[in-house]
Structure 1
Amino acid sequence: MFNAASVLASLGRMARTSELKRLGVSERELTRAVRQGEVVRSRQGVYALPDEDPGILHAAEHGGVLGCAAAAVLHGLWVLHVPKERHIWLGVNGTARGRSDSCRIHWDAGHVEVGVLPPVRNTLLQLAVCADEETFFAALESALRQALVHVRDLAWLRLRLPAARRWLVDFARSDADSGLESLVRLRLHRLGISVRTQVTIDGLGEVDFVVGTRLIIEADGKENHDGTKRHKDLRRDAVAAALGYRTLRFDYDLIVHDWPIVEAAILAALSTL
């Protein structure tokens, strides 16, 4: 007889009774493990380890799996905003269990497997329906960057997107190093400003954006705040100036929370070049 907790740990996810039985776990062992607190029963016939993500347990209680922004985060995508409300994917033929007034249900195409996140393309579709276009776009470019979606996934996604969001699939690229870069490119596009991304400049190296011929824009993430990184950035900016470029550098808080200042700075710089 196999230990229920050990089998669940080896799977790395929750599982149905039928799957655990196939792997050698008996009904008696499951009853014992639940009584001892070694495993939990999220709903009839579905078991998990006690330290399972609360969102995943909550989704299983309702008959589905975690979806939308929370699933995107677990997939490793860059997500601008994660709502407090839990989103659950039931697939195309799922059955909601219990009260669902505390969560949002997604019924998009596919079939749910216990403990398995929705495919990345489904997660992106859910984001497109629930979130603003910037959150969706940044997550989409994050998925492209990590090769988590491919041409057939983009075709599947575009076909099912709201009409107003389809252009974002065509506009998306796979070279954005962070969601911040995705936000900057999208917002500048709305202003009618074209940028070149991930540009290599002789004597300087690679920069995030070049606008026109002489304006460099750098988007620094949350992690770029230590003294050593600050010194390297200042040196790069000085080298860029010596080469005839002007550099504008913006951090996470400026781009996400103070965009009007960023926009004004870029427009002012462009007016003088």
Structure 2
Amino acid sequence: MTSHPDDAPPLPIDRHRLILASAVLQTGQQAQLNRAVRAGEVQRVRRGVYTPVGADPPLRGAGRHVLTAFAAAAQRDDPVFAGYTAALLHGMPAVGAIPAQVTFLAGGASGRIRNGVIELGRRADTVVETIGGLRLTSLAEAVLEVGRRSPLVTALAMVDAAIGRRAEDDRRRSCTLDELVALLDRRRPFRGSRRVAAALARADPFAESPLESVSRLRFEEYGFPPPRSQFEVRLTDGRTARLDFAWPALGVWGEADGLGKYGGGGPLAAATVIEEKRREDAIRAITGWRCVRWGWRDAWRGVPLARLLLDAGLPTSGRSRRR
């Protein structure tokens, strides 16, 4: 920072790169903080909490939500993250609009909403875990709350990620669909339980990306027949190709992400595109099926994806059931 003399001590910054006005008051650096704010060297996260402005662009979306949650936690005694906030901290994907309010677990059975913070009432069976020094509700608990308050597309992406298979180097928590269903049944009745049930009814542990979750929802909304996920095809060279989606009886398979996921250019991207084309040709040589590729924009908007599937020959009921 340049808005204070070189011999001035740095402002106190915690492990989340936050500057608390209360800590600044204790060190007698209020004037230094005020100068830094006026100079644009620090920015306000919420009342009484600031963060340095670095060379990187300001955090947006999920990153901003988490930073705001850390700021709110710094002003609380024994904070326990919950709901959507806890789901993000568990590593779940953020699909759709990011809530402006952050979520914590209340100390008692009563909840409330105040100053941009949702406090969820604590239940007798609420499970609290400690991960990386943070206290938060269990993954199953967090995902259930997301399903209660969020749009179906948001909830389904998180449910799929929670129950999906993990790579060996993936240290995120996981849970099973049975655990989620059992927790839902144990908690019923509650407001939003039907929304949770709708997400669990559509869950697929074979989904490998949020885009696949969104795509499945679009298939249903536009009346296409349900596909088989991660369908395996044995190639002539002995390798097994796993297809994101397949409609074997209709002679169509789909690849979510398409070649757009190799954007950025360069020799490596070009080589990957070529390899994908060879893979597609090898699958077609065995199956004779038509391939459909799509990206995030196609699936999110819905209509472009529907047109691609129709062009490939997939039948539809013709009734859009947007949720």
Q: Tell me if TM exceeds 0.5.
A: yes
Q: Structure 1: which 5+ residue stretches go unaligned?
A: 13-30, 38-49
Matched residue type, 1:250 = W
TM score, norm. by length of structure 1: 0.70
- The answer to whether residue 171 in structure 2 is matched with residue 171 in structure 1 is no
* CA positional deviation for 1:264: 1.9
Residue-by-residue CA offset, 1:135-165 (whole Å, 9 max, x unaligned):
1011001000146113334310354452243
Q: Secondary structure at the match of 1:117?
A: strand
1:269 corresponds to 2:312: yes
Kept in 2, the 8 Å contact 1:60–1:115? The answer is no
Q: CA deviation at 1:168?
A: 2.8
User: In 2, Cα distance between the equivalents of 1:111 and 1:89?
Assistant: 13
Please state if 1:251 is matched with 2:289. no
Question: Match for 1:135 among 122, 143, 154?
Answer: 154
Q: Is the 8 A contact 1:71 1:117 kept in 2?
A: yes
Q: CA deviation at 1:67?
A: 3.4
Q: Distance in 1 between matches of 2:72 and 2:225?
A: 44
The structure richer in helix per residue is 1
- Quote the Cα distance in structure 1 between the aligned partners of 2:111 and 2:228: 47
Q: Identify the match of residue 101 of structure 2 among 86, 106, 109.
A: 86
Further displaced range: 142-151 or 105-114: 105-114
**1:193-208 paired onto structure 2 within 5 Å:** 193-203=225-235, 205-208=241-244
Give the counterpart letter for 2:155 in structure 1.
Answer: F
Mapped contact 1:158–1:169 kept (Cα < 8 A): no
Pairwise CA distance, 1:118? 1.9
How far apart are the structure 1 equivalents of 2:119 and 2:244? 38
Q: Does the residue aligned with 1:105 lie in a helix, a strand or coil?
A: strand
Cα offset, 1:246, TM superposition: 0.7
1:187 aligns with 2:209: no
Q: Please name the residue that 1:152 is paired with.
A: 179
What's the RMSD between the two structures over aligned residues? 3.9
**Gap change, CA 1:148 and 1:111, over 3 Å in 2:** closer
Instruction: State the one-letter code of the partner of 2:252.
Output: L
Structure 2: 5+ residue runs without aligned partners?
1-11, 17-22, 30-50, 53-65, 167-172, 264-268, 316-323
Letter in 2 for 1:157: L
What percent of counterpart residues are identical?
A: 19
Per-residue CA deviations over 1:21-70 (Å, capped at 9, x if unaligned) read: xxxxxxxxxx9xx7499xxxxxxxxxxxx999442231453564443333
Q: Tell me, what secondary structure is at the counterpart of 1:116?
A: strand
Letter aligned with residue 67 of structure 1: A
C-alpha contact 2:244 2:256 (8 A) present in aligned 1: yes
Q: Is the 8 A contact 2:298 2:305 kept in 1?
A: yes
Q: Which TM-score applies when normalising by structure 2?
A: 0.60
Tell me the residue number matched to 2:116: 102
| Amino acid aligned to 2:241 | G
Tell me what 2:40 maps to: none
Number of equivalent positions: 237
CA distance in structure 1 between the aligned counterparts of 2:256 and 2:292, rounded to whole angstroms: 9
Shift in alpha-carbon separation, 1:240–1:36, aligned structure 2, 3 A: farther
Change beyond 3 A, Cα 1:250–1:137: same
1:202 is displaced (CA, Å) by: 1.6
Find the aligned partners of 2:248 and 2:161 in 1 and give their Cα distance: 26
Structure 2 residue 273 is matched with structure 1 residue 237? no
**One-letter amino acid matched to 2:104:** W
